[in-house]
Structure 1
Amino acid sequence: MLPPNQSIRPGVATTPALLVLAHLRWDFVFQRPQHLMTRAARDRAVYYVEEPIFGERQDHLNYRRESCGVTVCTPHIQSGHSPAESQARTARLLSGLVEAKGLLDYDLWVYTPMELPVTAGLSPRVTVYDCMDELANFKGAPPELRRRESQLFERAGVVFTGGQRLYEAKSERHPNVHPFPSSVEVGHFAQARGGLGDPADQATLPRPRLGFYGVIDERFDTALIAEVARRRPEWQFVLVGPVVKIDPAELPRAANIHYLGMKGYAELPAYLAHWDVALLPFARNAATEFISPTKTPEYLAAGVGVVSTGICDVIRPYGDLELARIADGPDGFETACQAVLDEAGTAAARLRQERADRYLSALSWDHTWAQMAGLIEDAAPTAHAPAHASHVLLTGSDD
């Protein structure tokens, strides 16, 4: 039996529910999907559907309600079936969820085109494609991803992109595309300027500290970090985040390179508070051509000088506005990091931070979501037929 729907605050006018197809686990790194869906849940029911987990039990949908109001749904699919059959089974679970929850009017929000077949049987009011990255360029991307993205473009009423570079690539493929680069919770990261205690796992490290947080995968320039760390053994490189899709044995190892693992979103300001330089050491490859790193405005909100490789959505606007230093290759990257260290505590540093603060004052995830919600309503048809679906087995979070 499903619990009562408590995603809507009492007394607040409701809007159509939102079904979200995501390729990222809710409990993974807190980033764009979590920021947006946390805000969406303030005035609508949000069902965040993760990719399936395969096992021996019969198909069922596991769910849990987060304190922010989002209901996280994890399909459990019996293993041993073809990919097409597995997606058909997931589709039946989602159709059953719609029926069981009585969702007569709902929108579909898609992050991953690969999961488009699981929407069979759904009749959303509006289909939204939030293209937060060029997933087809990532390591191990299936070849059919591009074809399914084309199908998604045909169905979508509105398309959002995770940055300006992606907008330029996608705007020719759909008549209603809007760029929404990474935003920021300024107040959260500004805590780093308020004397937060040094986390225990970095407290014993000497200064200066040059830090990075985020997913460490094929986008991370391991060779660059290895070489700069070799040249500057007195600099401590603090790398925070999970290692994904690359062999940990391939990571650079040195006495001044420190892997601290994944941290919660709430913990990040404390790490930033004790860094001297914040790094965006991304490799220049197909997987990074279209990225818009969320951490760029977060680093700036924390008051830490930023050095990045030449990523398009960091160059525009942060490099162009001289809010971040852009440098490629070990020579340039080392020089840029030294420049941040040399500028610390000077009038030039204070002026740079003042300009950053003025720029950040116009950014917020609240504002981003409000704009997106308006565009979804603009894309909504005047009439919509309710969806119908079959029965589904649902289980609680104690599964």
Structure 2
Amino acid sequence: MKQEISANSEGSYEMLVFSHLRWGFVYQRPQHLISRLSKSFKVLFIEEPIAFHEEERNTFDLEVINTQLHVLKPRCSEIAGIADILKQFLSRRHFPIGWFYSAAFSELLGDFEFERVIYDCMDELSLFRGANPQLVRQEKFLLSEADFVFTGGKSLYEAKKEHHQQVFCFPSSVEREHFESVEQDLTLPADIEPIKKPIVGYFGVIDERINLELLHDVAQLRPNVNFVMIGPLAKIEEQDLPREKNIHYLGMKNYKDLPAYIAAFNIAMMPFALNDATKFISPTKTLEYMAAGKPIISTAIKDVERDYRDCISIVNGPEEFSTAIDKFLDAKELKTGEKYKEILDSTSWDQTAMKMEKIIKRKVGA
């Protein structure tokens, strides 16, 4: 829903969120947390600039998610131009909370005043392909201005605590009941239903973090297994994808539909490359796969290996991947169910948002 709202109608915003990820993209950490926090704080979620025609310069779209959460989509050439758009839209310059998902927005701190500045660091964006070389400098500035820093995993926590005294580790969590719905008698979507089992599946962004060579090699090793990749492409092209008869790319799916897709998986996979872009990741899908009760095969991502190696299969190379497939397909039942339950009982997005809110309210004095 797009709606024009006058500057006078926004006076009650309590939190401005600056995000490099779009609200309508893959549903992940920002959407989980901000949707929950918006129950206590009225939020304006501000995205990176969108493409525009010249006559649209310095305009914006405003999407009303609900009365407590609005998404602003600015049209300008660079992030610095967002300040002029916000000054058109916002009737004041002072707000209780400024929440940053990317240091690229830190230059806007000179245009607005916040009682508290939060940096929720979910990735080491400076190590991603095509990253602006200014990000390192921008993050240094944001860290100097932030009142506290939240991190999306232990590796990020260990890195950021060296540069800030108020760092809190809030690893990726899960909306457990959503993925546990795979246990219900779900109708398989039309694009996955014809694919023959066994299926080894992945959902998430398909970008430079995926080991495409590994996917190709294990698909060749196991022509009797179908490999399903669900998610949008980012920073890679269609021609970069390995093409085998048993590799299926189904594109981006709505978050609400994911349980119906994962219900078709025999095994869930995380075929991540071990490179700069994955050095600090803590994949949200790990817990989502667990909630769905699926056996998991993953490459040796640091945060995954040290926290979950006793209940998922960590592999190095296509031969180990193929062996792990056999192990899970031959098993009559998943022996890690109790371990999954123990892990899932200790976390949820609701718990994470509640803990963050407690910190925020203590700091802000709300």
Q: Distance in 2 between matches of 1:310 and 1:304?
A: 18
Matched, 1:159 2:149: yes
Residue in 2 that maps onto 1:23: 20
**What is the match of residue 243 of structure 1?**
233
Query: In the alignment, residue 314 of structure 1 is paired with which amino acid?
Result: V
2:364 maps to what in 1?
380
Is 1:366 aligned to 2:364, yes or no?
no
1:228 to 218, 222, 235: 218
Separation of aligned partners in 1, 2:113 and 2:62: 22
- 1:186 maps to a residue whose letter is R
Alpha-carbon separation, structure 2, partners of 1:213 and 1:359: 21
Distance 1:68 1:226 in 2: 47
Query: Structure 1's 198 and 173: CA in aligned 2 closer, same or farther, altered over 3 A?
Result: same
What is the CA deviation profile of residues 176-216 of structure 1, one whole-angstrom value per residue up to 9, with x for unaligned ones? Answer: 00111110010000001112111110111111000000000
Q: Distance in 1 between matches of 2:303 and 2:296?
A: 14
Give, in whole Å, the separation in 2 of the partners of 1:93 and 1:326: 48
For residue 355 of structure 1, what is the aligned residue in structure 2? 339
Query: Taking structure 1 as reference, are residues 113 and 284 closer, same or farther at Cα in structure 2, changes over 3 Å only?
Result: same
Show the counterpart of 1:178: 168
Contact residue 217 and residue 243 of structure 1 kept, 8 A: yes
Alignment match, 1:150: 140
**CA displacement 1:123-165 (0-9 Å, x = unmatched):** 0111000110000100011111000000000000010111001
Amino acid across the alignment from 2:220 = R
Tell me by how many angstroms 1:7 deviates. Answer: 9.9
- Matched residue SS, 2:192: helix
Task: Kindly provide the CA deviation profile for residues 298-344 of structure 1, in whole angstroms up to 9, marking residues without a partner as x.
Answer: 0010011011000011113111xx2211111111111122211122x
Q: Identify if the C-alpha distance between structure 1 residues 98 and 67 changes in structure 2 by more than 3 Å, giving closer, same or farther.
A: closer
The residue number in structure 2 matching 1:73 is 72
Separation in 2 of the partners of 1:145 and 1:197? 45
Question: 1:241, 1:261 within 8 Å by CA — same for their partners in 2?
Answer: yes
**Structure 1 segment 280-295 matched on structure 2, within 5 A:** 280-295=270-285
Contact map agreement 1:157 1:380 (CA 8 A) in 2: no
State the distance in 1 between where 2:128 and 2:58 align.
30
- Is the Cα contact below 8 Å between 2:7 and 2:89 reproduced in 1? no
The answer to whether residue 269 in structure 2 is matched with residue 279 in structure 1 is yes
Q: Which residue of 1 aligns with 2:305?
A: 315
Residue 337 of structure 1 corresponds to 325
Alpha-carbon distance in 2 for matches of 1:304, 1:275: 8
Structure 1 residues 101-122: Cα deviation after superposition (integer angstroms, max 9, x where no partner): x575420000111121233220
- The question of whether the paired residues in 2 share the 8 Å contact of 1:186 and 1:364 is answered with yes
- The letter for the 1-side match of 2:315 is A
State the match for 2:252 in structure 1.
262
Q: Are the equivalent residues in 2 in contact too, given 1:95–1:122 (CA < 8 A)?
A: no
Which shows bigger deviation, 229-238 or 48-57? 48-57
Counterpart residue identity of residue 321, structure 2: F
Task: Specify the code of the residue in structure 2 equivalent to 1:75.
Answer: P
- The answer for unaligned runs of 5 or more in structure 1 is 9-13, 80-85, 383-399
Q: CA deviation at 1:68?
A: 7.8
- 2:38 maps to which residue? 41
Structure 2 unaligned blocks of 5 or more = none
Q: Is the 8 A contact 1:125 1:381 kept in 2?
A: no
Deviation at 1:377, TM superposition (A): 2.9
What residue in structure 2 maps to residue 83 of structure 1? none
Match for 2:53 among 47, 52, 55? 55
- Percent of aligned pairs sharing the same letter: 42
Match of 1:98 among 76, 86, 90: 90
Amino acid aligned to 2:53: G
- Cross-structure match for 2:242: 252
CA distance in 1, matches of 2:8, 2:264: 43
What is the distance in 1 between the residues matched to 2:8 and 2:314? 48
RMSD: 2.1
Question: What secondary structure does 1:253 align onto?
Answer: coil
1:2 aligned onto 2:5:
yes
For residues 103 and 323 of structure 1, what CA distance do their matches in structure 2 show?
Answer: 50
TM-superposed CA distance for 1:95, in Å, is 3.5
- Structure 1 pair 378–251 and aligned structure 2 pair: CA distance change class (3 A): same
Shift >4 Å, 4+ stretches? 3-8
Mapped to 2, the partners of 1:179 and 1:39 lie a distance apart of 18
Taking structure 1 as reference, are residues 103 and 143 closer, same or farther at Cα in structure 2, changes over 3 Å only? closer
TM-score by length of 2: 0.93
- The answer to whether the Cα contact below 8 Å between 1:211 and 1:238 also exists between their aligned partners in 2 is yes
Higher relative contact order (CA 8 A, sep 6+): 1
Alignment match, 1:206: 196
Check the 8 A contact 1:211/1:278 in 2, yes or no.
yes
Distance (whole Å) between structure 2 residues aligned to residue 5 and residue 131 of structure 1: 32
Farther off after superposition, 231-240 or 327-336: 327-336
* Paired residue total: 361
